[in-house]
């Protein structure tokens, strides 16, 4: 009910303040996903924000349309060039939308047909919708962009940039907390890679990588836009935090996709400034001398601080050194991974239209041992004579590869204040000898700090030739979990996994207790499906990601979709760098952002993370709409962010 009430309030706000969403949507994008608490994979709270935004914005459009019927209308005139641009872009957008819709249909068919499940996984038909929704939502925003990105206003573009900076600030602060709470804020030797608020990385991937490189150019916009020293100082701190977040991903692709686009951004800003205000060298020197004030020395100090920050992270620990040493080996294995992904395209239809949205994980795993999942979890229900139906979860280990055993867990958040000891009661059913691993750890998402654990070998109990349920009581062993510091509270997580290849166990009626505390697990009997339970992979992530933007589009969406996307990107970048759009103040930042995504996409997947992919498409469509608005574009007001 609270979510429904918030949705209604937000819809009304969008009706009355039509530009508000330009700031709120990108600002809340990193925050509105609570998958590790809800158990949702396909759906997320950010979807509700987008639905409320679209409902309010379209309601306003309908209202204005009705009001306009009683008012005299003046015809809009388009130049031939603008008309041709609009026709060309609309054709490409239709091609992109149509080919993606076909890939959606192929994905659902490949999964065996549509079946609704609130807690569907990566092998289910709804995973096709999960991948589709980023473009689907972004396409629905195009009429709003066309109505509000007009030559007569610059409010929307400025709010968009401010929203992106706000969201990036939240991610940077989450990164600082995460590292302070778990490996240590200045421990750069621990094999710990930051994930911040991107719970989609429970199966690996590059969600935070793509987000950081796409949004970092807008921090430069904020620093250049502000005119007040106090605000600038706050933004300088944000810039340092963003640099810290980028560095602690320890991703070589991120470093490249940050450095090169920032160089491009500097060049485009210089060209934009001198194209607007051509001056002689003497005039420029006089202008720079007159402008020498707080901004120039402050900028120098920030630059020095950023350089020192880079040196501290890269030279203050061994983790990045180890990653650089393994670069050649990693590239070789990645190329093999790419080849296995392309090998999924078995027919001309696959090449033309793709295997289907969201079908990469299931098809990759089906290739055999070289690509199999490290495990899986299924929800089950069975009728019991004379009683209500019994519900349970089935945990599966890897089909054949023993080295992957225990690397796929079913997890749930528990009260962070409870320190133990812990006792678990559960019912288990197995049809062969099965090993279970049980952990209660201080964990953000992927990496454990301190843990208590229990290891149980369960032998089958057979009645009439069929396995039956058996109750277990398990005490966790290990060091007492310490109190976390007030400034960096540590999350705790319960997890369980099958620890042998081809192992399988049905589990139900879980009760996790600690002296003096209420039961720590919710939905322990699985009567609500997999609500509050969240799967997490450890160390091995290959089946879920192809680690290349272009190849993931090719494999799941086909050549037609890839060509349409590349043409749209090429046109947007051409207009932002060389065309009339280059006069717009946001043009250099949009260009740097799109180039950054393409660069990180050389070694990372992007489209399989809906929130990040939505922001990518939104920025792309903003760039395209600026290109069709005509040559007389406003500059974005440089008010304080």
- Cα–Cα distance between 628 and 228 in angstroms, integer? 34
**Alpha-carbon distance 466 to 455, whole Å?**
25
The Cβ of residue 158 has, within 10 Å, a number of other Cβ atoms equal to: 22
Residue among 144, 154, 119 at smallest CA distance from 15:
144
Q: What is the 3-state secondary structure (H, E, C) of 193-219?
A: CCCCCCHHHECECCHHHHHHHHHCHHH
Query: Residue 520's closest CA among 608, 417, 611?
Result: 417
- Give CA–CA dist 232/225, Å, rounded: 9
pLDDT score of 634: 45
pLDDT 10s digits, 207-259: 999 999 999 999 999 999 998 999 999 999 999 999 999 999 999 999 999 99
Say how far apart CA 132 and CA 125 lie, in whole Å: 12
Give me the sheet containing 390-396, strands edge to edge: 376-382, 390-396, 504-513, 423-429, 470-475
HSE (side-chain half, CA atoms, 13 Å) at 397:
23
Domain boundaries, the chain: 2-64+80-324+544-628, 376-539
Provide DSSP, 471-494. EEEEE-BSSPPPPPPTTSPPPEEE
Q: Which pLDDT band, with edges at 50, 70 and 90, does 69 fall under?
A: low
Q: CA Rg, the chain, in Å?
A: 26
Give tens-digit pLDDT for 529-571. Answer: 999 999 999 889 999 999 999 999 999 999 999 999 999 999 9
Q: d(Cα 199, Cα 220) in Å, to the nearest integer? A: 27
Mutual orientation of helices 549-577 and 80-110 as an angle, nearest 10°? 170
* pLDDT tens digits, 316-366: 999 988 888 888 888 889 999 999 999 999 999 999 999 999 999 999 999
∠ at Cα 538 (536, 544), nearest 5°? 70
The pLDDT of 496-501, averaged and rounded, is 95
Nearest C-alpha neighbor of 626 from the set 579, 565, 594: 579
List, in order, residues 6 or more apart from 383 with CB less than 8 Å away.
Answer: 389, 390
Per-residue pLDDT averaged across 144-172, rounded? Answer: 87
Of 199, 195, 169, 207, nearest in space to 34 by CA: 199
Q: Is the preceding omega at residue 129 within 30 degrees of 0, hence cis?
A: no
Q: Which H or E element spans position 158?
A: helix 155-181
With bands split at pLDDT 50, 70 and 90, how would you rate the model's confidence at 294? confident
Helix, strand, or coil (residue 458): strand
For the chain, what's the residue count?
Answer: 641
Residue 258, phi-psi category: left (phi > 0), alpha (psi -120 to 50), beta (remainder): alpha
Secondary structure (H, E, C), 101-112: HHHHHHHHHHCC
Taking residues 128-152, report their average pLDDT. 89
CA distance 113 to 64: 41
Answer whether 150's CB lies under 8 Å from 18's CB.
Answer: no
DSSP 5: H
Neighbouring CB atoms inside 10 A of 109's CB total: 14
User: May I ask the CATH class of domain 376-539?
Assistant: mainly beta
What is the structure's pLDDT at 198?
A: 97
| Across 112-135, average pLDDT | 94
């Amino acid at each position: 009910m609270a979510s429904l009430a918030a949705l209604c309030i937000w819809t009304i706000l969008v009706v009355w303040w039509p530009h508000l969403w330009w700031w709120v949507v990108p600002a809340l994008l990193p925050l509105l996903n609570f998958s590790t608490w809800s158990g949702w994979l396909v759906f997320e709270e950010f979807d509700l924000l987008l639905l409320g935004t679209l409902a309010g914005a379209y309601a306003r459009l309908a209202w204005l349309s009705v009001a306009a019927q009683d008012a005299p209308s003046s015809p809009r005139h388009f130049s031939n060039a603008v008309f041709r641009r609009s026709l060309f872009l609309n054709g490409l957008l239709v091609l992109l939308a149509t080919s993606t819709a076909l890939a959606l249909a192929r994905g659902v068919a490949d999964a065996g047909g549509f079946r609704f499940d609130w807690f569907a996984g990566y092998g289910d038909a709804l995973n096709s919708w999960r991948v589709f929704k980023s473009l689907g939502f972004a396409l629905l925003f195009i009429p709003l962009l066309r109505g509000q990105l007009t030559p007569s206003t610059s409010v929307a573009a400025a709010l968009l940039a401010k929203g992106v900076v706000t969201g990036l600030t939240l991610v940077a602060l989450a990164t600082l907390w995460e590292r302070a709470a778990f490996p240590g804020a200045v421990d750069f030797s621990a094999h710990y890679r930051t994930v911040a608020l991107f719970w989609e990385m429970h199966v690996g991937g590059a969600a935070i990588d793509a987000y950081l490189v796409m949004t970092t150019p807008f921090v430069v916009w904020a620093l250049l836009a502000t005119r007040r020293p106090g605000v600038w100082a706050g933004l300088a701190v944000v810039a340092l935090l963003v640099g810290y977040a980028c560095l602690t991903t320890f991703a070589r692709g991120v470093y490249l996709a940050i450095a090169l686009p920032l160089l491009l951004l500097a060049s485009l800003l210089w060209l934009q400034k001198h194209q607007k205000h051509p001056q002689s060298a003497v005039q420029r020197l006089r202008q720079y001398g007159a402008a020498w004030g707080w901004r120039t020395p402050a900028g120098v100090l920030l630059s020095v601080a950023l350089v020192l920050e880079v040196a501290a992270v890269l030279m203050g620990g061994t983790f990045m050194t180890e990653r650089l040493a393994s670069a050649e080996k990693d590239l070789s294995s990645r190329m093999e991974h790419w080849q296995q992904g392309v090998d999924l395209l078995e027919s001309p239809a696959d090449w033309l239209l793709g295997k289907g949205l969201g079908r990469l994980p299931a098809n990759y795993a089906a290739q055999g041992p070289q690509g199999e999942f490290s495990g899986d979890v299924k929800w089950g229900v069975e009728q019991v004579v004379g009683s209500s139906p019994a519900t349970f979860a089935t945990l599966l280990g890897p089909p054949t590869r023993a080295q992957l055993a225990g690397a796929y867990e079913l997890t749930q958040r528990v009260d962070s204040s409870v320190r133990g000891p812990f006792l678990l009661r559960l019912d288990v059913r197995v049809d062969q000898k099965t090993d279970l691993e049980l952990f209660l750890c201080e964990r953000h998402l992927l990496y454990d700090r301190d843990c208590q654990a229990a290891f149980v070998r369960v032998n089958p109990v057979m009645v009439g030739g069929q396995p039956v349920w058996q109750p277990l009581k398990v005490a966790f062993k290990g060091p007492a979990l310490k109190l976390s510091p007030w400034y960096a509270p540590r999350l705790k997580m319960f997890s369980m996994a099958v620890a042998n290849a081809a192992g399988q166990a049905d589990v139900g009626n879980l009760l996790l207790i600690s002296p003096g505390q209420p039961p720590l697990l919710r939905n322990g009997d699985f009567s609500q499906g997999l609500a509050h339970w969240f799967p997490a992979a450890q160390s091995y992530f290959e089946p879920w990601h192809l680690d290349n933007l272009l190849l993931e589009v090719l494999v799941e969406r086909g050549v037609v979709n890839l060509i349409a996307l590349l043409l749209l990107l090429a046109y947007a970048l051409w207009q932002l760098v060389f065309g009339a759009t280059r006069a717009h103040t946001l043009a250099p930042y949009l260009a740097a952002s799109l180039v950054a995504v393409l660069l990180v996409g050389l070694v990372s997947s992007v489209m399989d993370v809906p929130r990040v992919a939505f922001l990518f498409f939104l920025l792309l469509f903003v760039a395209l709409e600026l290109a069709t608005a005509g040559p007389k574009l406003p500059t974005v007001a440089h008010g304080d962010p």
